[in-house]
Structures are given as structure tokens and as C-alpha cells.
A = this chain, B = another copy of it.
Amino acid sequence: MLPPCVIRTIPRPPADVASALAEQGVATVHEAQRQQGLMQPAIRSLLPGRRVCGPAVTALNHAGDNLMVHAALEVCQPGDVLVITAKTPCTDGMIGELLACSAKARGVAGIILDVGARDLTLLQEISLPVWARAVSAAGTAKATPGWVNVPVVCGGTTVRPGDLVVADDDGVVVVAHERATDVLAAARARTQKEESVRPRLEAGELSLDIYGFRKVLEAGGVRYYDSAEQALADAP
């Protein structure tokens, strides 16, 4: 509800926490914070194989206009993740060759777009990782004022300026900046637990036994049959 404005400063969690969360990956971080903060699958990686994490600088634009992306770059610091949204659904390419060069020059770690991106060849070339809702060569006007560093919704998830944005091939998850250290600890604990289980699974043990899911099946009344015929004969 603020009038159009640019907020210059955002909270930034320690850089080592961000890089450690990037290593944990989106799926683990998401589980570690009680399955919250995940963007919808529609936001997908355009440069497969990359993992980033950094504090969010947010740009809230009007559909068809990317004026505030230009304004947002000024307040980005190295390691930040630029989160670009529009007030109404839009697939136009709000980031292209020149803005990508500029983002790279300012040390932006990655870009998340609830809208479209373009100049894919260049993004590959300069290795700037981008997650977007669409690829579109359509450029935009630069005429209507919006907001930089206000809370936004991207991929169905609330992102506040300074929240850590973790992104990899599985998608994008948002970590509240106040909770970054706690979430990292929980993610590490989870990873450790998974690592102890993985060799057992690789050796052929079943998750049914390791995690005790047999009891859940039993409690739920799941019966076992040797054949479909047997099951049908037994059906009430």
C-alpha cells in the first residue's frame, strides 16, 4: 500500500549461511523448514545444473513494464538474488541482454522471475543463472512507477526483501532472513540423517522397514494378496 518507492537497504544474513544453504539444496531446505516457502513448479530453471542462495532484492512492476528492474539493480550488492514480479500475470521478458550484463557486473548471484526472461543465449554465455515462469523475446515499456524492496509474491510464495532465496534444478525456496541460521542447522541435521540411511537403501533395505512404514500400512488396514484374483475374492 506504500506509494511507488525504492527502499535502499535490506537485511542480509551472513554470506556463509547463504552459501551453506545453497549446498543443502532446495528439497532439503524446504523439508527443514516444515515444508514452507516453496515456489510453485511453474518457476523453473533456465540454466540446468546451477545452485544459488542469496538475500532477495525485490522489484514489483506493472504488467508489460520493467522500469523498476532498472531501479532495483542500483541497490543490489554482490551475492544478492534479484526477484522480479508483476502485479498481474505477464509473460513478457523483463530481463534481457543489457540488464543481464548489468546484473552480472554488479555481482548478482541469480535472478528469479514470476514473469518471462529473454536472451537465453547470452544468459548461458555469461553464466548468469535464471529461474523464470516463461521464456519470451517480448521486451517491455519503461514508463510506469512501481516498487523496489517491498514484500512481493513470486511463484505463489511471499518474499520479503532480505529473505534468502535458494534455487536449484528442483525449484526455488524462500527462507525468512531471521530464521536462516536455524533453518541451516535443521537442514544439516536432516542431511546427516539421510546420509546414514542412503547406504542401507543402496544395499537393498526397504524404506518400509527403515522408517517403520509397515506399521502405518497395517494401521491403515492395507491387506496383502498374492494376486488380483485373491484380492477380488476377499473384497467385502
Which residues of A are in contact with B by a Cβ distance under 8 Å? 1-9, 25-27, 30-31, 33-38, 40-41, 44, 48-49, 62-65, 67, 70-71, 73-74, 86-93, 96-99, 101-102, 104-106, 116, 118-121, 134-145, 149-151, 153, 156-158, 161, 168-171, 173, 176, 179, 183, 194, 197-198, 201-204, 206-208, 211, 213, 216-217, 220-228, 231-232, 235-236
Contacts and interface: CB of A to CB of B under 8 A. Distances in A.
Contacts of A98: 194, 197-198, 201, 207
Contacts of A8: 224-227
Given A25-B119, A67-B213, 8 more contacts: A1-B235, A8-B224, A41-B116, A70-B208, A74-B208, A97-B198, A145-B217, A145-B222
A5 B224 contact: yes
B2 A170 contact: no
Contact of A137 (B71, B170, B204, B207): B170
14 contacts: A3-B223, A3-B235, A3-B236, A7-B227, A35-B138, A41-B135, A63-B63, A98-B201, A105-B201, A135-B170, A141-B143, A143-B220, A156-B156, A158-B158
Contacts of A150: 228
A168 B224 contact: no
B220 A97 contact: no
Name the residue among A2, A9, A73, A86 with the largest chain B CB count within 10 angstroms.
Answer: A2
Nearest to A143: B143
B105 A139 contact: no
